[in-house]
Structure 1
Amino acid sequence: MPDSLTFIGLHYWAGSGREFQQVAALLAPAYSFLAPDLSGFGESVPPVGGGYSIDAYADQIASIIAEKQVGRYVLVGHSMGGKIALALAARQPAGLVGVALLTPSPPTPEPMTDEERMASMRSYGKLAEAEKTFQKITVRPLPEDIHQQILKDNMQTTRLAWDAWLLHASREDISARMCNVLVPCTIVAGDQDDVMSPSVHGLETLPLLPTGTPLEIIGGTGHLLPYEAPEEVAQLLRAFAQRL
């Protein structure tokens, strides 16, 4: 269908494309949903030459879009994936009609203290730490298979991708490019998000996006919106797509 719309999900740091499975199922068959594993995460292969910068990830997504010959699409960026989605949107690629940001990492350097950064570096590859992170970033109770999936994704992340985000990509400042993001955008946040509170989006991201971009809050949720609130996320994405 030439007028059909595809959602392209960009996952969070230490996650994988599998986080979008429930949302994708709820949007089918009206919309197709692509959710690749970003380099260094999930089942991905190591990047060819490009490394783990925000632009290298944007290149990876652009080449997947070209390879799959995707027509009209909306980028759905969650957390780390939000920053990557904005970098790609600033290039004004053909076919892009909208950007939905789920509790995104801002275009400015992510607000993270050196202490938090070092603690995250030290927690790499430790199951007990992955469990601690899970408890911190989720609010709604999740089924055990989802819980295990989140831990597995954390443990599968490569050291290079883990450190590259903490030391470099999360600190990148792409805010000057945001004037080039011209498609409609929406931001969705969890009201109890311990990692990226709604106020961060209101201060760091919203002012840089097209005028009139809404900030939607999902009550009783933490940072992992596609897992914690798949119905609400799917509903918001459907409503967003229908406005485009």
Structure 2
Amino acid sequence: MMHYQKTGEGLPVVLIHGFGEDSRIWEKQASVLAAQFQLIIPDLPGTGLSPFREPVSMESMADGIAAILDHEKINKSVVIGHSMGGYITLAFAEKYPEKLRGFGLLHSTAFADSDTKKEARRKSIDFIRQHGSLSFLETATTNLFAEKNRSRMAETIKSIAGSNAYILPETLIAFYEAMMARPDRTKVLKNAEVPVLFIAGKEDLAVPFSDTMQQVHLPELSYIYILGQSGHMGMLEETEKCNVAISRFLSDLSS
């Protein structure tokens, strides 16, 4: 089973981190949300205290989330994923809709990778093989932030890259391959019988704002928050607005 942290009481909420991260990326959300909700924050395979196990896919990691919920005897929860964590959230929603009170995509998309995106990921895999995790994360993490925030948040960016450099190259490569293999899941949004939260960054280069806007109308009930000063890392770039968006969504689901 994946390692996870559990904190707080109330409506169960799973927060799934993204690629090149671990559960620590949610610290600024957990410190606020745990006052009202029960948070379950896993480390995906090969990150944090979770051992790496192959094969890795969005579906296998969704199974891992289901196993945690079963272990905790939680019948229904809200699942929110950042970036790759959102891909896992969609796989979970497809496979375990009966376990959901709602779900959220934070800088994520239901679209499959385009050919251009796959080619970019292949180039990144080649870079990781040649230069290792730290060199890759230093460049990749910088590009996740809105250009206007990079100098102001230089220490944060450096800290994220450095603190996650322990993630082995083979883990990063396996995640990339799993992301390239994932299918389009717009049908999951269309068929959603629970509310869906979208948080999008206006300056996001990894998941373009225009892509998100093509998807927000698909669920029967959507909550849509636009972070005007954020790239792909709104939980750090506009922490307070991001926390308010998540809190309001969860509060509505609690009532």
Q: Decide: shared fold, TM above 0.5.
A: yes
CA contact (8 A) 1:110 1:171 kept: no
Residue among 92, 98, 103 paired with 2:102:
98
Give the CA deviation at 1:77.
0.8
Letter in 1 for 2:153: L
Match of 1:160 in 2: 170
Distance 2:61 2:31 in 1: 25
Match of 2:234 in 1: 225
Any conservation in 1 of the 2:201–2:232 contact (CA below 8 Å)?
yes
Percent of aligned pairs with the same amino acid = 26
Give the distance between the partners of 1:143 and 1:71, measured in 2 at CA: 41
Q: Deviations over 1:150-177 (max 9, x none)?
A: 2135422233332223234333114275
Secondary structure of the residue that 2:165 maps to in structure 1?
helix
Q: Tell me the distance in 1 between the aligned counterparts of 2:224 and 2:173.
A: 30
Q: Deviations over 1:158-217 (max 9, x none)?
A: 3333222323433311427515432110110111111111111123x435x413424321
How far apart in 1 are the matches of 2:179 and 2:140?
A: 20
Query: Aligned equivalents of 2:103 and 2:14: distance in 1?
Result: 10
Structure 2 residue matching 1:155: 3-state secondary structure: coil
Structure 1 residues 172 and 95: CA distance shift in structure 2, 3 A:
closer
After the TM superposition, which of the residue ranges 29-38 and 126-135 deviates more from structure 2? 126-135
CA distance in 1, matches of 2:86, 2:174: 16
Residue 131 of structure 1 is matched in structure 2 by 138
Please list every run of 5 or more consecutive structure 1 residues that lacks an aligned counterpart in the other structure. Answer: none
Gaps of 5+ in 2: 1-8
Is the counterpart of residue 86 in structure 1 residue 90 in structure 2? yes
Q: For residues 194 and 176 of structure 2, what CA distance do their matches in structure 1 show?
A: 29
- In structure 1, give the amino acid aligned to 2:135: A
Deviation at 1:135?
Answer: 1.8
- Give the secondary structure class of the aligned counterpart of 2:12: strand
Alpha-carbon spacing, 1:128–1:92, altered in 2? closer, same or farther (3 Å): closer
In 1, Cα distance between equivalents of 2:48 and 2:201: 24
TM-score under structure 1 normalisation? 0.86
Q: Counterpart in 1 of 2:61?
A: 57
CA distance in 1, matches of 2:67, 2:101: 17
Task: Please name the residue that 1:197 is paired with.
Answer: 208
Range that drifts further, 77-86 or 104-113 = 104-113
Residue aligning to 2:198: 187
**TM-score scaled to structure 2, two decimals?**
0.82
Question: How many residue pairs are counted as aligned between the two chains?
Answer: 237
